[in-house]
């Protein structure tokens, strides 16, 4: 068997599909695969295991205590990330647009490198697991988690303004 490496973050759906296909391929070589109930149970177990693995992989972003610590994230990066969120329809309602508009009026904010990184979906925050500064790519996350991050960024930025 040739070992392979998984990307750091995969959606639960992608991992479930991979696990189900892998398990299905293995099961097809055994007599248990002849029984549809056995194969369905094995696929369900593989899906549950894959979703658990996906949850563990994304915990690098969400951490044991929730989202990364935004307290040291610059206003520019938060505003840039919020711009990314609004542009990609990851926020609900018009509150995020209003917060972004207010933040964007600060001198020099939209010209900063932190803002540019945020516009690309790069959140610069402190990891709750390692207490070190990390860069998180929102585009690599499943949409529900991206929405959660966008909501947290919006709330934190509003509190800073």
Q: Are 103 and 79 in contact (CB under 8 A)?
A: yes
With 0-12 / 13-18 / 19 or more C-beta atoms within 10 angstroms meaning exposed / middle / buried, residue 150 is buried
Main-chain phi, psi angles of 139, to 5 degrees: -65, -20
Local structure of 142: helix, strand or coil = coil
Cα 122 from chain centroid (whole Å): 11
For residue 133, list its beta bridge partners: 126
Task: Give the pLDDT confidence score for residue 139 in this predicted structure.
Answer: 92
Residue 115 CB partners (closer than 8 Å, separation 6+): 76, 77, 79, 80, 83, 109
Task: Give the pLDDT confidence score for residue 35 in this predicted structure.
Answer: 66
Mean pLDDT, contiguous 10-residue spans, the chain (161 residues): 40 41 41 58 51 39 62 94 95 89 91 95 89 90 92 92 85
């Amino acid at each position: 068997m040739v070992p392979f490496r998984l990307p750091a973050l995969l959606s639960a759906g992608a991992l479930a599909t991979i696990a189900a296909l892998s398990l299905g391929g293995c099961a097809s070589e055994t007599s248990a695969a002849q029984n549809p109930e056995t194969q369905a149970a094995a696929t369900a177990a593989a899906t549950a295991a894959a979703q658990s693995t996906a949850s563990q992989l994304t915990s690098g972003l969400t951490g044991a205590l929730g989202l990364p610590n935004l307290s040291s994230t610059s206003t520019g990066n938060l505003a840039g990330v919020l711009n990314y969120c609004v542009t990609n329809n990851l926020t609900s309602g018009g509150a995020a647009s209003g917060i972004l508009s207010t933040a964007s009026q600060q001198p020099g904010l939209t010209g900063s490198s932190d803002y540019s990184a945020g516009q690309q979906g790069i959140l610069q925050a402190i990891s709750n697991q390692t207490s070190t500064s990390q860069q998180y790519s929102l585009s690599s996350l499943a949409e529900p988690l991206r929405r959660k991050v966008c909501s947290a960024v919006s709330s934190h930025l509003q509190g800073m303004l």
